[in-house]
């Protein structure tokens, strides 16, 4: 066996290598990996029966035909389906003060004195 050589890299070299690795990983075209109901249930922390009950909402892909085709799920589509919906502009509930003009207090009128509760006079 040959003698091992010790190589030291500068921070700049390490940063350049890391940047290139990230570029290569981003450029890969990766097909979305489909998961079955059991795996999806595990990821979501729910029962498999819940996944089957909500298969349509979760965007299930049916493999084959017949009375009980196998189901597969795209995790990205499931996440989008379960994300809370943002209210549309026309659906947004206006704040209680919306549309009412703001009243400006006339500072020339003296205010009534405030007394602690429980004491009269």
Q: Is residue 6 part of a domain?
A: no
Residue 117 pLDDT > 60: yes
Q: Is residue 1 part of a domain?
A: no
Count up the domains in the chain and report the number. 1
- How confident is the model over 73-97, as a mean pLDDT? 72
Q: Is residue 23 part of a domain?
A: no
pLDDT value of residue 9: 86
Q: Is residue 15 part of a domain?
A: no
Q: Is residue 59 part of a domain?
A: yes
Q: Is residue 69 part of a domain?
A: yes
Q: Is residue 51 part of a domain?
A: yes
SS3 of the chain: helix, strand, coil, percent, to 5: 30, 5, 60
pLDDT value of residue 35: 94
User: Is 37 buried (19+), middle (13-18) or exposed (0-12) by CB count in 10 A?
Assistant: buried
Q: Which residues form the domain of 49?
A: 32-82
Tokens of 16: 């350049």
pLDDT value of residue 60: 93
Q: Is residue 7 part of a domain?
A: no
């Amino acid at each position: 066996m040959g003698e091992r050589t010790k190589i030291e890299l500068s921070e700049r070299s390490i940063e350049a290598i890391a940047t290139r690795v990230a570029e290569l990983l981003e450029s890969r075209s990766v097909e979305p990996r489909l998961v079955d109901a059991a795996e999806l249930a595990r990821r979501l922390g729910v029962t498999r029966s819940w996944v089957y009950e909500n298969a349509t909402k979760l965007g299930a892909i049916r493999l084959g035909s017949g009375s009980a085709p196998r189901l597969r799920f795209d995790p990205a589509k499931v996440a989008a389906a379960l994300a809370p919906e943002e209210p549309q502009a026309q659906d947004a509930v206006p704040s209680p003060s919306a549309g009412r003009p703001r009243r400006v207090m006339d500072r020339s009128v003296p205010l009534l004195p405030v007394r602690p509760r429980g004491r009269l006079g």
